[in-house]
Amino acid sequence: MYGGQKRMHENVGNNPLFGCKNRSRTMPRCRKRNVFVISPFLLVLFVLCFELYYWTMQPSTQAKWPTDPCPHKVVNDTITALKYSKTFIISSYQDNREQNLTRVVAIVDYKNVQDLYCWFCCSRSRRIAIIRAVIDIHTERFGLPFGSADIVCMEPQYCSPKYVSVHSSSKGTIEELPQFEIKNRVASTSFSAEFTVCLSVTFGNHSNVLQFIQSMEMYKILGAQKVVIYVTDYSQPMEPFLKLYAAEGTAEIIPWPIVSYINFSSFWSSSQDWLYGKSAVLNDCIYRNMYRSRYVVLNDIDEIILPIKHLNWKTMMKSLEDQNPETGIYFFESHFFPHSVFASVDGFSSALWKTLPGVNILQHIYRVPNRMWLNNPRKMIVNPRKVVQTSIHSVLKGYGRTMEVPKDVAILYACKAHNRRETPDGYLIRDPAIWRFNASLISSVNDMLSKKFFYKHFKSPWNALVKNIASIFK
Ligand SMILES: *[C@@H]1O[C@H](CO)[C@@H](O)[C@H](O)[C@H]1NC(C)=O
Ligand SMILES: *[C@@H]1O[C@H](CO)[C@@H](O)[C@H](O)[C@H]1NC(C)=O
Ligand SMILES: *[C@@H]1O[C@H](CO)[C@@H](O)[C@H](O)[C@H]1NC(C)=O
Ligand SMILES: *[C@@H]1O[C@H](CO)[C@@H](O)[C@H](O)[C@H]1NC(C)=O
Ligand SMILES: *[C@@H]1O[C@H](CO)[C@@H](O)[C@H](O)[C@H]1NC(C)=O
């Protein structure tokens, strides 16, 4: 697939071994004379020669030569801007599903794509191998000048690289380049999570706290062990809950400071979707969880993939998989429940909830009818090992079959602000599918709020306290 375009460069100039060999070439001259003419004078010279050699070698080892190029300058940041090219590196992953590749998830300025090279740090031989990259720009670009791309390089043989750098040239010195750990080198088959939810970016002053907690609790009720949240910014009332979810191990919070790298307000886009690097986030999340989670659920925080026939995702997915064994990608049709239309649900609300800003999803059971002639947006549950490249509503490259899950099995419950003016409220359909979960949702949201109460009142050692108190209450 990528083989034809590869060239391998051995960057000898940056090889510290080569440097050492070069230097020791002064030595055989001394030794040679010793072998042929053994005289006291030459013996002294020989000793002197050695002394001189060590004297010059010792201090310069540290001063001049990179002690070890592997690794040199490893970066952990979620976004790294490359020098000399408008390229932003998110993370790098080994992908040996077809060939031994390193796949770097990146954002590129696709009007100015330059050649890029992977500088592999070979852990076996401690040398640098430089391979020309194939830049695979994702086909969905949403009218923006920046887009997601995979920077793909064949891994050199006999190298077992653990670190890679990306550079616009095959020349230079490794010390100047940031190195990225190549993750997923061990393809585990025992998963630490059955379901992981990948939320696309939360940004700005998101103060819809109640809906955030309700969605998080619904994911847990439905079977998620982990929710990955890429956070650009959050509001003050959100902070304690993000921390509580991180402390209990549900939320994996990844800082996403994209606005410090790309100024989105200077672009016009036909779609809000790509804004804030949503598709790069989803691709990173897929690879991050490839060998950690059996399934990955891709949706936004105001959306829930809601089973209609089953009580949770596990039994739903088991039944879907039994009927469609070749399928790894399942689509769920979006059904829109506007924030502006309320049902009276006095029994479903508690006094505690009124203290929080935001929407109570149990009040929103009226949905906009989906129009047959329109392609309604979908979200997905995927087997991440069957995905090569994903977008927000579809998988761009993958393996195996895909399936549109019928709406009597599950829907994507999307509870959002009303933006479809054309549907008068009278045409809305009453659909209380979310109410099936009322009892478990109410009790788990209340649980969370009581943890927040303790967090507020015993802030300093809250981490340990919350755990202890929570276990007493259980
Ligand atoms: C990078 O992460 C590792 C562990 O994940 C940590 O030990 C190291 O200190 C981090 N380095 C930086 C520069 O943050
Ligand atoms: C990948 O590399 C490993 C050793 O590093 C080798 O055993 C394996 O055959 C390679 N796989 C492919 C598909 O080339
Ligand atoms: C965030 O939103 C709240 C209420 O919606 C408002 O009071 C606050 O000023 C906003 N903060 C910022 C930084 O916009
Ligand atoms: C972003 O671009 C807009 C329009 O070009 C400009 O008004 C604004 O000051 C820029 N913001 C930053 C943070 O650079
Ligand atoms: C609320 O949940 C309970 C327990 O699961 C269920 O019996 C009841 O029917 C639900 N209420 C509604 C209105 O769906």
Whether residue 463 is predicted with pLDDT greater than 60 in this model: the reply is no
DSSP tag of 317: H
Round to whole Å and give the CA distance between 308 and 406: 10
Least confident of 1-10, 109-118, 268-277, 344-353: 1-10
pLDDT for residue 176: 86
Assess contact for 291 and 186: CB atoms under 8 A: yes
pLDDT digit string, tens, across residues 325-371: 999 999 999 999 998 888 887 677 778 888 889 999 999 999 998 87
Nearest CA to ligand 4 atom 6: 266
Q: Going by DSSP bridges, is the β-strand pair 146-154/134-137 parallel, antiparallel, or unpaired?
A: antiparallel
Which residue, among 82, 407, 130, 137, has the nearest Cα to 261 in the 3D structure? 82
Whether residue 13 is predicted with pLDDT greater than 70 in this model: the reply is no
pLDDT confidence of 454, banded at 50, 70, 90? confident
Q: Is the CB of 402 under 6 A from ligand 5?
A: no
pLDDT digit string, tens, across residues 30-39: 344 444 444 5
Round to whole Å and give the CA distance between 131 and 449: 53
Ligand 4, atom nearest to 263 Cα: 1
Task: For residue 153, give every residue at least 6 positions away whose Cβ sits within 8 Å of its Cβ, in sequence order, or none.
Answer: 6, 101, 102, 104, 117, 118, 120, 131, 132, 133, 134, 164
Task: For residue 378, give every residue at least 6 positions away whose Cβ sits within 8 Å of its Cβ, in sequence order, or none.
Answer: 331, 332, 333, 334, 393, 394, 404, 412
To test the ligand 4 pocket, which listed residue (265, 267, 268) has its Cβ within 8 A of the most ligand atoms? 265
**Rg of the chain over CA atoms, in angstroms?**
28
Q: Is the CB of 96 under 6 A from ligand 2?
A: yes
Q: Which residue has the higher pLDDT, 144 or 394?
A: 394
Assess contact for 304 and 379: CB atoms under 8 A: no
DSSP tag of 400: S
Ligand 2, atom nearest to 96 Cα: 13
Least confident of 8-22, 181-195, 242-256, 428-442: 8-22
Mean pLDDT of the chain: 81
Query: 390, exposed or middle or buried, with CB in 10 Å at 0-12, 13-18, 19+?
Result: buried
**Domain 3-11+70-183: assigned CATH number:** 2.60.40
First CA to last CA across the chain, in angstroms?
Answer: 54
pLDDT for residue 420: 57
Q: Is the CB of 343 under 6 A from ligand 5?
A: no
Q: Which residues line ligand 4 (CB under 6 A)?
A: 263, 265-266
C-alpha 75 – ligand 1 centre gap (Å): 8
To test the ligand 3 pocket, which listed residue (202, 206, 207, 210) has its Cβ within 8 A of the most ligand atoms? 207
Nearest ligand, CA 238? 3
pLDDT confidence of 26, banded at 50, 70, 90? very low
Round to whole Å and give the CA distance between 103 and 155: 10
To test the ligand 2 pocket, which listed residue (95, 100, 160, 186) has its Cβ within 8 A of the most ligand atoms? 100
pLDDT for residue 269: 57
C-alpha 112 – ligand 5 centre gap (Å): 57
pLDDT digit string, tens, across residues 196-206: 999 977 766 67
pLDDT digit string, tens, across residues 51-100: 544 444 433 333 334 556 677 789 989 999 998 788 999 999 999 999 99
Mean pLDDT, residues 310-321 = 98
Q: How many CB atoms are located within 10 Å of the residue 416 CB? A: 18
Q: What ranges in 202-351 are assigned the alpha helix state H?
A: 209-222, 239-247, 278-288, 313-323
Mean pLDDT, residues 123-146 = 86
pLDDT for residue 40: 58
- Answer whether 3-11+70-183 and 193-468 agree in fold: no
Round to whole Å and give the CA distance between 256 and 243: 16
Nearest CA to ligand 3 atom 1: 205
C-alpha 84 – ligand 2 centre gap (Å): 33
Nearest ligand, CA 154? 2
Q: Going by DSSP bridges, is the β-strand pair 327-338/401-405 parallel, antiparallel, or unpaired?
A: parallel
Q: Which residue has the higher pLDDT, 470 or 368?
A: 368
Which residue, among 228, 348, 334, has the nearest Cα to 290 in the 3D structure? 228
DSSP tag of 211: H
Which conformational region is residue 358 in: left (phi greater than 0), alpha (psi within -120 to 50 degrees), or beta? left
Helix or strand or coil: residue 276?
helix
Q: Which residues pair with 150 in a beta bridge?
A: 105, 136
pLDDT digit string, tens, across residues 209-221: 999 999 999 999 9
- Report DSSP letters for 414-469, one per residue: EEE----TTS-GGG-EE-GGGGGGHHHHHHHHHHHHHHHHHHHHS-TTHHHHHHHH
pLDDT for residue 141: 76
* Domain spans of the chain, in order of start: 3-11+70-183, 193-468
Pick the CATH number of 193-468 from 3.10.450, 3.30.420, 3.90.550, 2.160.10: 3.90.550
pLDDT for residue 21: 31
pLDDT digit string, tens, across residues 221-268: 999 999 999 998 888 889 899 999 999 999 999 999 988 888 777 766
Round to whole Å and give the CA distance between 141 and 161: 32
